């Protein structure tokens, strides 16, 4: 092909990729075009052509930056939120309150924390879902705001009279565990006297075990024992940032290079300790996915999904 | 996860358009929305981010009328193709009954197609489903760009890359022009309903 035609074809290709939003592909083609322009000796308008191409490349770079950053999770219209509630609450034939709980959790999953918290707060009035609603409110606070907010929320519940003592205690244990894992020791006031606590503990334990058969326990952190590499035989503990059923999401700092290298997608972890507020159990897991976080305060860190499997 | 209401003789099922970023999933739904007015049962909802990329999903409800004595409704979804929205993709895929995998015919997107198909397989596995068993249709999109001299993969190559083992029904398409969009959807609905029929034996 004649060199000028080749240049024309390259520029056309680049332009189509650009209009399709294929930024890095367009970028590459414009780069090749620039190289080609450099290499043609007797080209009139050489300078202006080069200038135009580098202008295009600059514009692509700035688009790329915007796309990589992505919009912050937007606050959606009420209509869109209603749709999410309808479409992503999955259980069939459950009672109205459990369905409402699921709808509110669906909102939280899509980052609609404000409305999720409003709806979860309403569900606190329902005896049967109160504790789950409370835990999810704390999750929303932890995901969207600060630890302080979660703590002051607990204090508010503590001073109110909406919760039964053992319900409040379940919530306290849950929050306490999360805080401890984050290296914070807060003396959260407990709704139970020592004596009553002892009785309750056994009761709560029995209850959770029943629950665990249908549903997974709330897992606040997991310990992974490495079977090779420099940390062979050592257990490393990670916080669980999000849980849905048997899927746990962890955020691992980019600094943890060895750990990240070791934990490959699809890898089976034979020896895992799961820490829940009430019980610790051993089991196995599979690294379901490993994604680098592209935006926000945790940019560069990794999000690991680990699925609990029966060992 | 199709919902059957045997009393009302109603079925509602879920079809998801999957594929790498920018391959034309949203464009498929937009074409369906415009071209199949009679079947469309509500507004198309798109939740987008920077540059019209899908952030959460697109949603379009359609109705097929009576099939074997049952009123069939279908929810069409697209997932966000950008790699970073992995957890949203998983969420949208939940309870899926049929899948259209939209592959980008551009040569420069070859690897992205394969990665996305692998991602689909992994996500289905999370839900205990096998990519070999789920109703699945392949669409090779953007064929129109050949007219403009843009390097495209041949259909044979795309079949080899993506469909050698799956052997799913496949269609060439140009979603912007609407070519192949209806054929893809029809075939997907056919195999999806056949599979639901086998599973639930609803007819007669
Ligand atoms: N020429 C041509 N362009 C197409 C075709 N299909 C889609 N496009 C273009 O490709 C770009 C991306 O299309 P979308 O439908 O938004 O792609 P998507 O798969 O929804 O992308 P994500 O939401 O980011 O995953 C747009 O500029 C479309 O106009 C096609 O068949 N031919
Ligand atoms: Mg899209």
Give the domain-ending residue among A167, A202, A237.
A202
State whether residue B115 sits within 8 Å of chain A by CB.
no
Query: Sign of torsion, CA A14 A15 A16 A17?
Result: positive
Give the domain-ending residue among A202, A232, A248.
A202
Q: Do A198 and A230 belong to one domain?
A: no
Pairing of strands B10-18, B70-78: parallel
Is residue A208 included in any domain, yes or no? no
Contact B53 A67 (CB under 8 A): yes
Containing H/E element for A273? strand A268-275
Domain boundaries, chain B: 3-202
Q: Do A30 and A95 belong to one domain?
A: no
Q: Do A86 and A195 belong to one domain?
A: yes
Above 50 in pLDDT, residue A27?
yes
Q: Do A194 and A129 belong to one domain?
A: yes
- Tokens 């198909």 sit at which residue? B117
Using CB atoms, pick whichever of B47, B49, B86 lies closest to residue A76.
B47
Q: Contact B144/B177 with Cβ under 8 angstroms?
A: yes
Containing H/E element for A218? none
Contact A70 B3 (CB under 8 A): no
DSSP code of residue B20: S
Above 90 in pLDDT, residue B18?
yes
Q: Do A63 and A90 belong to one domain?
A: no
- Range(s) of the domain holding residue A288: 221-309
DSSP code of residue B51: G
Q: Is B70 in the pocket of ligand 1 (CB under 6 A)?
A: no
pLDDT in tens, A33-91: 999 999 988 888 889 999 999 999 999 999 999 988 876 778 899 999 999 988 888 76
Above 50 in pLDDT, residue B3?
yes
Contact B53 A305 (CB under 8 A): no
Atom of ligand 1 nearest to the CA of B28: 15
Q: What is the CATH number of the domain that holds A105?
A: 1.25.40.10
Give the domain-ending residue among A175, A202, A229.
A202
Above 80 in pLDDT, residue A295?
no
The span from the CA of B39 to the CA of B35, in Å, is: 9
Is residue A12 included in any domain, yes or no? yes
Is residue A213 included in any domain, yes or no? no
CA A191 to chain centre: 31
Q: Do A197 and A111 belong to one domain?
A: yes
Name the residue with higher pLDDT: A248 or A152: A152
Is residue A136 included in any domain, yes or no? yes
Q: How many A×B Cβ pairs under 8 Å?
A: 80
Q: How far does the centroid of ligand 2 lie from the alpha carbon of residue B75, in Å?
A: 16
Q: What is the CATH number of the domain that holds A39?
A: 1.20.58
The span from the CA of A14 to the CA of A33, in Å, is: 9
Smallest CA-to-CA distance from A169 within A143, A207, A140, A142 is with A207
* β-bridge mates for residue B104, sequence order: B141
Query: Hey, what CATH topology would domain B3-202 get?
Result: Rossmann fold (3.40.50)
Residue A190 pLDDT level (bands cut at 50, 70, 90): confident
Is residue A215 included in any domain, yes or no? no
Q: What is the CATH number of the domain that holds A267?
A: 2.40.10.220
Using CB atoms, pick whichever of A16, A70, A288 lies closest to residue B49.
A70
Nearest CA in chain B to A72: B49
**Closest ligand to Cα B85:** 1
Q: Do A173 and A262 belong to one domain?
A: no
Which segments of chain A does DSSP mark as H helices, in order? Answer: 3-19, 23-39, 46-69, 78-87, 96-109, 113-123, 130-144, 147-159, 165-181, 194-214, 257-262
Q: How many domains does chain A have?
A: 3
ipTM of the complex: 0.92
Q: How far does the centroid of ligand 1 lie from the alpha carbon of residue B30, in Å?
A: 10
The span from the CA of B113 to the CA of B116, in Å, is: 5
Q: Do A92 and A181 belong to one domain?
A: yes
The span from the CA of B7 to the CA of B11, in Å, is: 11
The span from the CA of A34 to the CA of A44, in Å, is: 14
């Amino acid at each position: 092909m004649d060199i000028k035609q080749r240049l024309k074809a390259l520029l056309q290709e680049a332009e189509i990729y650009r209009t399709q939003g294929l930024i890095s592909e367009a970028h590459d083609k414009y780069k090749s075009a620039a190289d080609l322009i450099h290499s043609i000796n007797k080209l009139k308008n050489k300078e202006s052509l080069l200038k135009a191409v580098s202008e295009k490349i600059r514009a692509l770079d700035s688009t790329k930056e915007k796309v990589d950053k992505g919009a912050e999770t937007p606050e959606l219209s009420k209509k869109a939120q209603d749709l999410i509630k309808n479409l992503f609450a999955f259980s069939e034939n459950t009672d109205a309150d459990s369905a409402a709980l699921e709808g509110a959790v669906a909102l939280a999953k899509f980052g609609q924390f404000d409305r999720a918290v409003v709806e979860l707060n309403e569900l606190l009035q329902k005896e049967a879902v109160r504790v789950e609603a409370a835990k999810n409110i704390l999750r929303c606070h932890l995901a969207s705001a600060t630890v302080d907010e979660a703590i002051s929320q607990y204090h508010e519940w503590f001073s109110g009279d909406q919760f039964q003592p053992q319900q409040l205690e379940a919530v306290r244990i849950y929050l306490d565990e999360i805080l401890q894992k984050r290296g914070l020791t807060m003396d959260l006031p407990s709704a139970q006297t020592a004596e009553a606590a002892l009785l309750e503990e056994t009761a709560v334990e029995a209850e959770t075990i029943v629950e665990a058969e249908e549903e997974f326990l709330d897992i606040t952190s997991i310990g992974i024992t490495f079977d090779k590499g420099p940390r062979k035989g050592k257990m490393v503990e990670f916080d669980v940032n999000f849980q849905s059923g048997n899927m746990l999401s962890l955020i691992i700092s980019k600094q943890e290079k060895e750990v990240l290298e070791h934990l490959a997608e699809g890898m089976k972890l034979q020896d895992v300790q799961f820490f829940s507020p009430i019980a610790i159990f051993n089991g196995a897991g599979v690294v379901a996915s490993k994604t680098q976080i592209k935006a926000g305060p945790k940019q560069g860190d990794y999000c690991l999904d680990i699925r609990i499997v029966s060992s | 996860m199709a919902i059957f209401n045997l009393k009302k003789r109603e079925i509602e099922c879920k079809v998801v358009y999957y594929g790498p970023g920018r391959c034309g999933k949203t464009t498929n739904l937009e074409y369906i929305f415009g071209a199949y007015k009679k079947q469309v049962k509500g507004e198309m909802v798109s939740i987008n981010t920077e540059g019209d990329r899908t952030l959460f999903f697109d949603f379009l409800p359609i109705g097929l009328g009576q099939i074997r004595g049952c009123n069939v409704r279908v929810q069409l979804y697209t997932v966000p193709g950008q790699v970073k929205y992995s957890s949203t993709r998983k969420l949208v895929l939940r309870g899926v009954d049929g899948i259209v995998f939209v592959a980008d015919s551009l040569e420069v997107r070859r690897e992205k197609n394969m990665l996305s198909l692998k991602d689909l397989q992994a996500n289905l596995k999370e839900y205990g489903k096998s990519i070999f068993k789920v109703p699945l249709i392949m669409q090779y999109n953007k064929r129109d760009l050949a007219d403009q001299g843009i390097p495209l993969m041949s259909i044979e190559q795309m079949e080899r890359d993506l469909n050698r083992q799956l052997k799913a029904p496949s269609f060439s398409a140009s979603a912007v022009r609407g070519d192949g969009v209806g054929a893809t959807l029809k075939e997907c609905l056919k195999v999806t309903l056949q599979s639901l029929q086998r599973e639930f034996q609803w007819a007669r």
